[in-house]
Structure 1
Amino acid sequence: MGQDVDAREFSREDRTLYRAKVRRCLDVFARMLGERDFGVEHTQVGIEIEFNLVDGNGDPALKNAEALEAIADPDFQTELGLFNIEINVPPARIDGSGLETLQAALRDDLNAAQAKAAGVDTHLLMIGILPTLQEGHFSRDAISANPRYHLLSEQILAARGEDIEIVIDGVDRLDTTADTIIPEAACTSTQLHLQVEPDDFAPMWNAAQAIAAVQVAIGANSPFLLGRHLWHETRIALFEQATDTRSEELKAQGVRPRVFFGERWITSVFDLFEENVRYFPALLPIVDDEDPLEELEAGRVPNLGELRLHNGTVYRWNRPIYDVADGRPHLRIENRLLPAGPTVVDTMANAALFYGLVKVLGSSERPVWSQLSFRAAEDNFHQAARAGIDADIYWPGVGTVAVRELALRQLLPLAHEGLTQLGVDDAVRERLLGVIEQRCITGRNGATWLIDEFRHHNASAGSRADAMRTTTVEYERHMHGGAPVHEWPTRS
């Protein structure tokens, strides 16, 4: 969800003070990387999932306050749109049956939340973009009550100086505008967290960037937006545009976007935090009372509040995280590029692929990123978002290759090796990566199922909107059935 803030206005002095404080935090962070213990005794992983709320017809239910009150579980939190909530699954060790434990916890939490939300006529849906969203849902009134969201929207629109334009060309074309950041609420994602040590951060982040295209292609689940059939993972294009603070003139000047794939392979986690401070002006220039240098020199662990808040307003697809738990600092990679859904087991399979590949590629003697330009990795990423599981991408030593073939022949064996290195039980590893294997063999993921189902209903429905509703209701039924998406019945 991000850090809560109070409603306020910012002065020029606020921004000047904040810049000085965030730079002070950055200096302290640099010292901490050399002086403090960020050691990881047992690798911890975590998952956040954003849900859409729908009614019995599959239409958005703008009831997150009522749903959260009914659910009454602190692991569930508000999100940007009134039709969104989020769950933060408590972190767990990845070794042994850790991923199975996470899956069981997520399934139990979802079942309990669904049962309670039904009392306020609301259903939880894991999907990248809700097919039944319409232009009317992209209004200021659809933003959640939390002051953070209204303040962030105001600051992004003020920085931009004009309405946000969303233009996406896919099978259909979408061209619309918004006077808030509410279109971002349509982008419901799965966020995977991986705790890493400072010395391992750069190679693991580089590995995560290199495989981003493969993740998006295999996990795509967002083919529709506002009644249009666009990209297989439309969420990528939508999120990049919905929080863009740049006018057309600034884009032409080469100013960096806040939704940022990056521009180079890194050598240290410090590179990413330093880029954030150097390139991106503050959106929420809120200064707290902590003196980070004083805390460090007193032997305590500084919170680095300004650095963390600023980091939370730069939307990297693989975001670096500094956090403090039980009085100890730690670092995480937050992998933010996957959509929510389709099912709990699909989510955990996507997680297993990510954790396994990052582990093995991040410790390779000849890293994949030494043979792959950063621009090629970014081009792969957007091609995968457009074409999904049928995408062709460039891969070192192979050239242009179908993602499905690359995964089956090269990457799945590597993911098995990586999970073995992480100590994951063989049965857990085989079961979860087996889901990815079957997705690649069948060519079926969330996006392909949704497209097929919509085409079937659209042939006989009274309108595209009716076909979207029927498709959404069927999707919900299969989602709660729990079978992985490659096993869902198809119409073709």
Structure 2
Amino acid sequence: MGEDVPAQEFTRADRTRHREKVRRNLDVFAKMLREARFDTDDPMTGLEVELNLVDERGDPALKNAEALEAIADAAFQTELGQFNIEINVPPAKLREGGLTTFEEGLRRSLNDAEARSATVGAHLVMIGILPTLADGHLRPDSISANPRYRLLSEQVLHARGEDIAISIRGPERLVTTAESILPEAACTSTQLHLQTSPDSFAAYWNASQAIAGAQVAVSANAPYLLGKELWRETRIPLFEQATDTRSEELKAQGVRPRVWFGERWITSVFDLFEENVRYFPALLPIVGDEDPMVVYKAGGIPSLAELRLHNGTVYRWNRPIYDIAGGVPHLRVENRLLAAGPTVVDIMANAAFYFGLVRTIADDDRPLWSQLSFHAAEDNFHTAARDGIDAQLFWPGVGQVPATELVLRRLLPMAREGLAGWGVEASVADRLLGVIEGRCLTGVTGATWFTGRMHRRADMDRYDALRATLLEYREAMHTNEPVHTWD
């Protein structure tokens, strides 16, 4: 959820000062893109995974503070809901065995964390939406203790002027309201980070947008919310609605949502930051003392704190990141559209598919986005979220095609080529991309496995069936066998 901020109230003057300061940040950022040296020589990749906490029965365990104290590892952090935590895996270079390093480190950390958190009655589950969540778990008193979360929730509701409305239609329909942004906490994701140069950022971001539908189709893992079977990746519409600051009237006027796919291909990373400032009022108008222009002219690296904090409250599915490491600025694409789980090997297969495919597409002499309309890419994304691995996607040169056919015939070879370009060993690429291939051949993802099990339990009470299926899921999760092999 981003940087910690203290509890506070904001005045109209605060918002005016913040607008002026964030625009000054933007001016300095533009100057840095023209003049500064960014860290680009040996790109790093990163990985974050959001986790759910459950008790022995499979119900949500509102114990993240106790779990984090028991885990006692700085890599694990709090998240919005008391039933959430997050792990930040140390960054790595793909050419130096990064995928294997991620996999081994994540398994080791999660196994250790599970053993420790179990002592306080909280077990870890990697799934896009915890299916046993009920209305009572999504009330304001379930927000984590960090003041940032309550402040952000208050600001979203204040901007909206009314309760948040959730309406999702799948095989079943859910219509409900919320008096906080806590439904967002139901969305637990895997976030992939890819460092890139200013010159190549636009190509990598455009490529990430173009393949979003294919990514979601083969990784869907969030079919249930509040007892209802909805989209195969219900996280997508839920997240879009749970942090929507727009009233119905503002939606009708075409005001852009804060959870946003975007509306056009870009030519520079500056396009995204500039849009974020131009289109979205500040939710957290906090102003620091640093004058970024003074720092930059003196030879320093400005933090651009206001711009970064504001950027963190605009939830693009592929988000631009400006950061500083070792005194050197760098840029990253943060790919935020994948669900957590089902297993570590499934997560790493999703990562290999993304890192490989995005490189091949970004490096192509004839850009994919010159052949694919942005509207078609967005349609693919939402179609895949709704239908999962059964989705029909549009692709240049072939038209509408089953997602499985598209991935098997076109995208997996491209992903394998891209991983070779990153310097990933062929055996590692074959093993991880083989997991994606297996899902396509069997038609099984986390979402289809879970709904299949639930349909066999159709004669049970719905929440009893969800608990039983989740406990079965959790047991299989610990085997680290890919989900398409669970049956």
Q: TM-score normalised by the shorter chain: which range applies?
A: over 0.9
User: Secondary structure at 1:319's aligned position in 2?
Assistant: strand
What is the correspondence of 1:208-247 to structure 2 with a 5 Å cutoff? Answer: 208-247=208-247
- Report what 1:199 is aligned to: 199
User: Secondary structure at 1:436's aligned position in 2?
Assistant: helix
The 2-side partners of 1:98 and 1:249 are apart by 48
1:486 to 481, 484, 487: 484
The 2-side partners of 1:217 and 1:423 are apart by 27
| TM-score where L is the length of structure 2 | 0.99
Residue identity opposite 1:5 in structure 2: V
Count of residues paired in the alignment: 487
- Report what 2:160 is aligned to: 160
- Report what 1:434 is aligned to: 434
The 2-side partners of 1:98 and 1:47 are apart by 11
What is the correspondence of 1:8-19 to structure 2 with a 5 Å cutoff? Answer: 8-19=8-19
The 1-side partners of 2:356 and 2:17 are apart by 43
Q: Any conservation in 1 of the 2:39–2:328 contact (CA below 8 Å)?
A: no
The 1-side partners of 2:463 and 2:70 are apart by 30
Q: Specify every segment of 5 or more residues in structure 2 that has no aligned partner in the other structure, as ranges.
A: none
- Report what 1:476 is aligned to: 474
The answer to whether 1:301 aligns with 2:301 is yes
Q: Any conservation in 2 of the 1:43–1:95 contact (CA below 8 Å)?
A: no
Shift of 1:40: 1.8
Shift of 1:433: 0.6
Shift of 1:223: 0.3
What is the correspondence of 1:448-459 to structure 2 with a 5 Å cutoff? Answer: 448-459=448-459
Residue identity opposite 2:142 in structure 1: A
The 2-side partners of 1:467 and 1:396 are apart by 42
Residue identity opposite 1:395 in structure 2: W
The 2-side partners of 1:379 and 1:76 are apart by 35
The 1-side partners of 2:101 and 2:88 are apart by 15
| Identity within the alignment, % | 67
The answer to whether 1:190 aligns with 2:175 is no
The 2-side partners of 1:394 and 1:75 are apart by 39
Q: Specify every segment of 5 or more residues in structure 1 that has no aligned partner in the other structure, as ranges.
A: none
The 2-side partners of 1:166 and 1:377 are apart by 24
- Report what 1:343 is aligned to: 343
Residue identity opposite 1:485 in structure 2: V
- Report what 2:317 is aligned to: 317
User: Secondary structure at 2:256's aligned position in 1?
Assistant: coil
Shift of 1:41: 2.0
The 2-side partners of 1:453 and 1:43 are apart by 42
The answer to whether 1:66 aligns with 2:66 is yes
Output one character per residue of 1:264-292: Cα deviation in whole Å (capped at 9) or x when no partner. Answer: 00000000000000000000000011110
Residue identity opposite 2:314 in structure 1: V
Shift of 1:458: 2.7
The 2-side partners of 1:12 and 1:349 are apart by 48
Q: Any conservation in 2 of the 1:202–1:268 contact (CA below 8 Å)?
A: yes
- Structure 1 runs of 4+ aligned residues shifted over 2 Å read none
The 2-side partners of 1:263 and 1:387 are apart by 22
- Report what 1:357 is aligned to: 357
- Report what 1:422 is aligned to: 422
Q: Any conservation in 1 of the 2:128–2:340 contact (CA below 8 Å)?
A: yes
The 2-side partners of 1:172 and 1:264 are apart by 33
- Report what 1:97 is aligned to: 97
Q: Any conservation in 1 of the 2:206–2:266 contact (CA below 8 Å)?
A: yes
Shift of 1:15: 0.2
Shift of 1:98: 1.5
Q: Any conservation in 1 of the 2:215–2:354 contact (CA below 8 Å)?
A: yes
Q: Any conservation in 2 of the 1:457–1:470 contact (CA below 8 Å)?
A: no
Q: Any conservation in 2 of the 1:303–1:324 contact (CA below 8 Å)?
A: yes
Shift of 1:456: 1.4
Please report the RMSD computed on the Cα atoms of aligned residues, expressed in angstroms: 0.6
Shift of 1:37: 1.0
Q: Any conservation in 2 of the 1:216–1:381 contact (CA below 8 Å)?
A: yes
Residue identity opposite 1:146 in structure 2: N
Shift of 1:96: 3.7
Residue identity opposite 1:420 in structure 2: A
